Amino acid sequence: MKKTNKQLNEIIKDYDNYVLKTYTRKPYVFIRGKGSWLETIDHKKILDFFPGWGVSNFGHCHPMVVKAICEQAKKIIHMANVFYMPDQAYVAKEIVKSAFPGKVFFSNSGAEAVECAIKTAKAWGNTLSKNEFISFEKSFHGRTIGALTLTGQEKYRSPFGPLMPNVQYAKYNDIDSVRSLINKNTAAVILELVQGEGGVRLADKNFVKEIARLAKEKKFLLIFDEVQTGFGRTGKMFAFQNYGVKPDILCMGKSIAGGVAMGATLLAENIEGILLPGMHASTYGGNYIACAGAKAVMELIKKEKVLEKMKESEKIFHNFFLNLSVKYKEIISYRHLGLMFGIEMEGEFASKIADMALTEGLIINCTAGNVLRIMPALNISKNDILKGLKIIEKVFKNVLQ
Ligand SMILES: Cc1ncc(COP(=O)(O)O)c(C=O)c1O
């Protein structure tokens, strides 16, 4: 047996013996990543069209991020949030400047960003006797109990009941369904502008605008969960900027710190005074390393003009997927916003295609059971796009013809 195979088998054996089996893992160990490329333990090169599961918007190990976190690690790694940290201040200021006026709370994950939104809406609602939440079918907001309760997918929630009370699920893009659930006790509506885990489903503009109007009229808070869509993914810094509507609360995570764990919640000026000292906290939230990574991300978005340059890549992907959906009747529908693509397929084809693509050297994702999800690095090169699309073409041919 080759040495690398032996190493791989030993790692897998240790997982079997010692790691909780909450993930269905694929037999790959990556030892290095650079841009849109990964190297496995047996030195195979894999192209990545879904880097870090929506985390590495600027590819693996972007040099600016690497330099920032390495330099920071040499100076100071961690201090408590009872002291001031310069990069935390910088990152909060940049988020506010690129989103809307308000104040930021830092945490460590998307689910925690959503928890902060829930606690804020609860504390705000309690002063007005409003304690009901509306979320959406097929939504995904995380795995902690609050975020899980808001997740509109029974399969994730059912083993863990009873969950948070007073949460209802409206139909996505169905304004009558939302209207029928709103009442004087509604504290907040939480919405993903593109449902990522739910199958890359885009909210209609009028639907979002009407919810925002209702929020003002009926006095409830509007929460946008942009954990997956934030930081350039949809062609704007935040997806809400495609819709001309601002929320009261913005949840961020995933790509915010270039791969270092971080979550953030921006509370608009009208509610920024709700969480007072002692009401919410996080030991690691906004720590030195995460903030160094986030600061590098904010700088590189501007310096590398990522939002402008990604338009060219979007065109290439879009034309390719349009042609693909004309060619294959097994494609039920194709959706995209910016560099977030979803190809909904009949039956089991999507998961077969994702699996075969991996064996051919390309990472793509299958979500919601039958949707291929592709979210490449925003700064991916044309050459790498064409290489990956060639693999997708081949795999479609092999699976469907
Ligand atoms: C929209 C959305 N919200 C929240 C989360 C939860 O993020 P995390 O896994 O970092 O807790 C995710 C994760 O996929 C997400 O896509």
Q: What is the pLDDT of residues 211-228, one digit of tens each?
A: 999 999 999 999 999 999
- Share in percent of the chain as helix, strand, coil (round to 5): 45, 20, 35
* DSSP secondary structure code for residue 269 in this structure: G
CA of 140 relative to ligand 1 center, distance in Å: 7
Cα–Cα dist 104/265, whole Å: 6
Which ligand 1 atom minimizes the distance to the CA of 263? 10
Per-residue pLDDT tens digits of the chain, which is 401 residues long = 577 788 999 999 999 999 999 999 999 999 999 999 999 999 999 999 999 999 999 999 999 999 999 999 999 999 999 999 999 999 999 999 999 999 999 999 999 999 999 999 999 999 999 999 999 999 999 999 999 999 999 999 999 999 999 999 999 999 999 999 999 999 999 999 999 999 999 999 999 999 999 999 999 999 999 999 999 999 999 999 999 999 999 999 999 999 999 999 999 999 999 999 999 999 999 999 999 999 999 999 999 999 999 999 999 999 999 999 999 999 999 999 999 999 999 999 999 999 999 999 999 999 999 999 999 999 999 999 999 999 999 999 999 98
Which of 57, 136, 141, 367 has most ligand 1 atoms within 8 Å of CB, for mutation?
141
Which of 107, 228, 251, 337 has most ligand 1 atoms within 8 Å of CB, for mutation?
228
Cβ-contact 286, 88 below 8 angstroms: yes
Strands (E) in 12-139, as ranges, are 30-34, 37-40, 45-48, 102-107, 132-136
* DSSP secondary structure code for residue 273 in this structure: T
Name all residues whose Cβ lies below 6 A of ligand 1. 109-111, 114, 140-142, 192, 196-197, 225, 227-228, 253
Which ligand 1 atom minimizes the distance to the CA of 54? 14
Which ligand 1 atom minimizes the distance to the CA of 226? 1
Which ligand 1 atom minimizes the distance to the CA of 139? 1
Please enumerate in sequence order all residues whose Cβ is within 8 A of that of 46, keeping only pairs 6 or more positions apart, or say none: 28, 30, 37, 38, 39, 40, 358, 361, 362, 363
Strand (E) or helix (H) holding 187: strand 186-191
Tell me the domains of the chain and their CATH numbers. 3-61+305-400 (3.90.1150.10), 63-303 (3.40.640.10)
Residue nearest to atom 7 of ligand 1 (CA): 110
| Residue labelled with tokens 């795995």 | 143
CA of 400 relative to ligand 1 center, distance in Å: 32
Cβ-contact 341, 200 below 8 angstroms: yes
CA of 14 relative to ligand 1 center, distance in Å: 28
With CA atoms as reference, report the closest residue to 108 among 329, 229, 264.
264
Q: How many CA atoms lie within 13 A of 242 on its CB side?
A: 24
